[in-house]
A = this chain, B = another copy of it.
Amino acid sequence: MSDRPTARGPSLLTIPDGDNRERKVCPDCGFIAYENPKIVVGSVCCWEERILLCRRAIDPRSGYWTLPAGYLELNESSRAGAEREALEEAGVRIAIEGLLAVYDIPRLSQVQLIFRARLHGPTLAPGPESLEARLFAWDEIPWRDLAFPSVAWALNHHRDVIMSGDPTPRRNPD
């Protein structure tokens, strides 16, 4: 890109004609970058009674444990996205059993759709975004080394579904 002028991109915050909110507009070409919240899809995957966690190889929170989860891609259903993330991050194929929770993270402009899933087998093969992938019994879960608060929410909600027998999808804890 060295033969291009310095990239400014959509850097000017202004309300476009006919709109009612500020958007980022490129001062060079007039392109309007509409920004929308993003959808994160992921799953609590079990093999027998153990739960799959992956240790992040990338920032943010590199080195900490998380569920296989990531951004939904274009033209992808939420379940297909959760299956893809499990395959990319832990090298596993999963069978989705139902929706576990919908979490709103408005601070990050994120909605998370987390599913309950079963592994087809205990063999894990962490991908490039994971340092390792492991199956944890409930009393082995590294609570102090979880990457994000919503990982703990999902683990506890999953436990709650099993203990209560009530599969109604959960939302952010109060």
Contacts and interface: CB of A to CB of B under 8 A. Distances in A.
Contact of A7 (B30, B38, B75, B169): B30
A171 B102 CA distance: 13
14 contacts: A6-B29, A9-B29, A26-B29, A28-B29, A36-B36, A36-B38, A36-B39, A36-B73, A74-B109, A75-B109, A80-B106, A99-B171, A102-B102, A111-B113
A167 interface: yes
Interface in A58-90: 71-80
Contacts of A77: 104, 106
A166 to B, nearest CB: 9
A148 interface: no
A99 B39 contact: no
Contacts of A26: 7, 9, 26, 29, 31
Interface string A1-29: 10011111110000000000100001011
A164 interface: no
Given A36-B39, A36-B74, A106-B75, A28 B30 contact: no
